[in-house]
Amino acid sequence: MMVFIRKKKIKGKTYYYIVKGVYDSKGKLSQKVVRYLGNVENILKKFDFWDEHH
């Protein structure tokens, strides 16, 4: 399973998602969102919280 971070612009703002490649019954590859990460500020807040509590 290939997992990577996808960047998506919505109304001029950038958001990030963890996505994985999945094949349908016809063998066509598509992306499935595994986790929504949010914008850069949101991601940095999560890292700061982790650093403070671990």
> What pLDDT score does 54 carry?
83
Note the pLDDT tens digit of each residue in 4-30. Answer: 999 999 999 999 999 999 999 999 999
Edge-to-edge strands, sheet with 3-10: 3-10, 13-23, 29-38
- pTM attached to this predicted model: 0.74
**Confidence check: pLDDT of 1 > 80:** no
